Amino acid sequence: MHSIPERAYWCNLAEKIRFPNQLLIDGKWCDAQSGKRFPTINPATGAVLELIAEADTADVDRAVNIARQAFADGRWSGLPPRERGRRLIALASLIENHREELALLETLDVGKPIRDSFLVDLPGVVRTFAWHGEAVDKVYDQIAPTDKGSIGMITREPLGVVAAVVPWNFPLEMAAWKVAPALAMGNSVILKPAEQSPLTALRLGELALEAGIPAGVLNVLPGYGPTAGKALGLHQDVDCIAFTGSTEVGKYFLQYSGQSNMKRVWLECGGKSPNIVFADCPNLEEAAQAAAVAIFFNQGEVCSAGSRLLVENSIREEFLEKLIAASKDLQPGDPLDPATRIGAIVSDEQLQRVMGYVATATRQGARLRMGGNQLRTETGGYYLAPTVFDGVTSDMTIAQEEIFGPVLAVIGFDREDEALMIANDSIYGLGAAVWTSNIDRAHRMAKKIHAGTVWINSYEEGDATVPFGGFKQSGFGRDKSLHSMDKYCDLKTTWIHLDVEG
Ligand code: NAD
């Protein structure tokens, strides 16, 4: 693990840091055509960091035209894959060189601890660009086993203009998961960051230019969802939407596609992942610590958070005590202090939403075992104590809806089939974990749980080599791994007739 600078260092850097604040179109900074700007806020203090140019339909039109021209003239799509790969790897190195600056921008913009931005998010972003850059000239096309009188070639072709619409919980990492494979395959890209987190996306666009990705190939449009996001979704000349965000907005994109040009839509949406602990769990202490991190890491603002803890009743009280003890180390603090493991909730609006769920859970009869209250109000920021509700039943609101905050719903069970039924009683199917020392049970559960990822005796492992995405209303299409590249190309079949008789 890399070491991380002290708090004083980050505070000093924060005084001097430059905030990018315009749209990036055709390799140039520009204001929105409306002249409008919106504030981006530091959730740790509630203070406005910067006023950002606000893209709307006219800016979307212009960026799509530019991206289309860039795609059509082949300045990027026409380069040999190896050359595109070389420049993506150069971008990965530039991101690594600007790691402190980017980590700090992320922390200031969304309130996550600097230790996570610096030690988790940024290394993930670097690896994503490097991995796709390294992979792109190792992907082969195919020739089908047809009759000898013909050759059936199956080739991949980039789609054209891809719009990546991403959320605020891992702003740069979610952007990288889309932008890296889309660029690797030769597409032009328009990146629309969430309105809560525009800063690192803009800086990424600037670094891409420096890495040799030609002007117009990666354009960055900060703006609001119902305006800029919708305009991208409805645009007749956008070929693909790669979306990460809520299930509700994911459904809008399916509608926008149907109302416009049937663009491809790939959705990485919400989750309500079950973390299932059986009495034969190999190490209860370890499982309890993992369960605490599974829900409280990144303030609970994680799509695959282990937000439903299913515990076998015979060990429930013992496990809860261990979990609560482990959670004591996860109290919110100043995001710029490297000792802080939990930061601020992204916005006042999100904090109020989460507090609303706390009130609903209490009203519906769940037992509050820990937290539930705001903290650090003197800072002006948005902090919530890690919160645990016991005695939850699967029909309660906090067991069904994605809260996207540090609130854990604990549900007891007595039998394996009951645990499975509760686990699958959800519209979501993103992740799940099973803690058991019985290998047969581990396989049975992994097979029968409806989720894109199942962890056995661990939580939240991931790697660039492994696909990530959901079943059911958690979405479809996969980020990461070679599978992610499939989303950004179409398959073309070319039949060549051969006169083999001569
Ligand atoms: P969100 O759906 O509110 O916003 C996501 C993006 O969509 C933002 O860029 C936003 O501006 C845009 N948007 C919002 N309304 C829109 C509209 N009407 N038309 C077009 N675009 C619109 O989500 P969020 O609050 O930013 O992020 C939290 C959600 O993201 C959670 O549900 C979480 O589970 C999900 N998420 C999923 C994954 C995954 O890989 N499955 C990863 C991270 C986050």
Q: What is the pLDDT of residues 188-215, one digit of tens each?
A: 999 999 999 999 999 999 999 999 999 9
Q: pLDDT by residue (tens digit) across 112-171?
A: 999 999 999 999 999 999 999 999 999 999 999 999 999 999 999 999 999 999 999 999
Confidence of residue 501 (pLDDT cuts 50, 70, 90): confident
- Spacing, Cα 166 to ligand 1 middle (Å): 6
Is 303 one of the catalytic residues? Answer: yes
Question: How far apart are the two ends of the chain, measured CA to CA in Å?
Answer: 65
Q: pLDDT by residue (tens digit) across 40-77?
A: 999 999 999 999 999 999 999 999 999 999 999 999 99
Residues with Cβ within 8 Å of residue 412, at least 6 apart in sequence? 310, 311, 312, 313, 316, 391
Cα separation values, 262 from 235, 258, 275, 314, Å:
10, 5, 37, 52
- Beta strand pairing status for 47-53 and 37-42? antiparallel
- Spacing, Cα 122 to ligand 1 middle (Å): 21
Cα separation values, 86 from 33, 136, 144, 212, Å:
35, 10, 30, 9
Domains, the chain, with CATH or none: 7-269 (3.40.605.10), 274-466 (3.40.309.10)
Integer Cα distance of 451 and 184 in angstroms:
28
* 8 Å CB contact between 445 and 282: no
The widest CA-to-CA distance across the chain, in whole angstroms, is 87
- Spacing, Cα 266 to ligand 1 middle (Å): 13
Q: Is 7 exposed, middle or buried (0-12, 13-18, 19+ CB in 10 A)?
A: middle
Q: Is the pLDDT of residue 373 over 80?
A: yes
CA-nearest of 247, 245, 250 to 301 is 245
Beta bridge partners of 413: 312
Nearest atom (ligand 1) to Cα of 245: 30
Q: pLDDT by residue (tens digit) across 171-186?
A: 999 999 999 999 999 9
**Residue ranges lining ligand 1, Cβ < 6 Å:** 165-169, 174, 192, 194-195, 224-226, 229-230, 233, 244-246, 249, 252, 268-271, 303, 402, 404, 430, 470, 474-475
- What is the torsion angle, in degrees rounded to the nearest 10, for the CA atoms of residue 169, residue 175, residue 176 and residue 180? 160
* 8 Å CB contact between 221 and 25: yes
Is 206 one of the catalytic residues? Answer: no
Which member of 268, 301, 416, 460 is catalytic? 268
